[in-house]
Amino acid sequence: MKIKHIFHRLIGLSLLVPLAACKAEVLAPAGDVAARQRDLLVISTLLMLLIIVPVMVLTVWFAVKYRERNRAAEYAPDWDHSTKLEFVIWAAPLLIIISLGALTWVGTHLLDPYRPLERIEAGQPVPAEQTPLRVQVVAMDWKWLFIYPDEGIATVNELAVPVNRPVEFTLTSTSVMNAFYIPAMAGMIYAMPGMQTTLHGVFNTPGEYKGIASHYSGHGFSGMHFKTFASDDADFRAWVEKARAAGGTLDRPRYLDLEAPSENVPPMSFAEVDPQLFARVVNMCVEPGKMCMAEMMAIDDQGGAGLAGTMNTTALTYDKHQRRGARVPVLGWEPFQVASFCTPEDSALMFGSGALAVQPPADQSPLRGRALTPPRGLLSLSHDTDMTQLDPAAGQARNF
């Protein structure tokens, strides 16, 4: 019987073995932002445990003390209220909620992803002359594109940054919403098509770290991850020069080829990048001849294209399906998408030979209803025929 009991215990403990392969990414930060996020998480958890642990202990204690076989337990059928107990029951959770609220409000504002970093690490502010490293991120199907505008290079599924230097990410997506997350560096931020989000972070410890897509985005989601290398300035410059030496140009046609859905894409680099590429990706106008969202919004702000815009359209598929490679969207073709505008000469040629539609003159006589009682207010002193929808009797109609 004893051997059987030990065997059952071993089986239970064996279930914990897979946990040995787990790595505490969130609780093992390599940068100041991630460290402060970990502290916020740990402190909030400890504050909540101040209530959870006593409740769990008291639950077990009450179950043991007032069990059926314990005849020595105190029995007080007439007890119904205790001011001290009520004070403890309500005051303790209230204080914890106030503490959690203050801690969360201050912490989340200090860790706002759009807020530029004020320090490299505790006790070390950002030098006034140091500028952040700019990285433009595009979430694709199913890979990550990183553009370094200041270095003029781009990489796919590989990111490198120098340590102790703030990094400013600007992010967008090509087809569906995704989430960019490097647990050891900073928090998660969404990347959405047609929009631009921002994330600030920093690495304080050199090493190789994992970056993931933390939002499900389709069939190839499981392979949508990348490696992040944090190194000193000399190694980072060497990495940049290696990318430049590899050659290749990421222009608009090459980007459209890269944008096609693909899975488990190996890292690659480009020595040159179209400087307007990221802006066109955000405005969803990488395709030749396609109107950018910024231009379309400017036209709408001025009153829209008007009647002339109805003949300046071309039938295309909706961007999400077009970018994902689907020939026909599930719900059918989108009706129109503005591609270009005709000149006045084109409009004259288009409408010059057409017959003009003759409209009959509109009937200007007053509208009159039948079987309707004219409305009157309680304090109305006017006659029924002052404003009426009925045919008035002869000689009673007024000229309005």
Peptide bond into 61 cis (omega under 30): no
The answer, yes or no, to whether residue 131 has pLDDT greater than 80, is yes
pLDDT in tens, 117-128: 999 988 889 998
Is 51's pLDDT higher than 80? yes
Domain spans in the chain, listed from the N-terminal domain onward: 18-67+82-111, 124-283
Whole-angstrom Cα distance, residue 154 to residue 145? 7
CATH C-level class of 124-283: mainly beta
pLDDT of residue 5: 65
Task: Compute the distance between CA of residue 374 and CA of residue 383 in angstroms, rounded to an integer.
Answer: 10
Which residues fall within 8 angstroms of residue 299, CB to CB, at 6 or more apart? 305
Against a cut of 0.75, is the pTM above it?
no
Q: What is the pLDDT of residues 317-369, one digit of tens each?
A: 456 555 555 555 444 555 545 556 666 676 666 656 555 555 677 676 666 65
Rg (CA), the chain: 34
Which helix (H) or strand (E) element contains residue 64? helix 32-65
| Average pLDDT rounded to a whole number, residues 263-286 | 92
Find the range with the poorest average confidence among 12-21, 54-63, 180-189, 259-268: 12-21
Q: What is the pLDDT of residue 342?
A: 65
Does residue 163 surpass a pLDDT of 90? yes
Q: What pLDDT was estimated at residue 331?
A: 47
Note the pLDDT of residue 187: 87
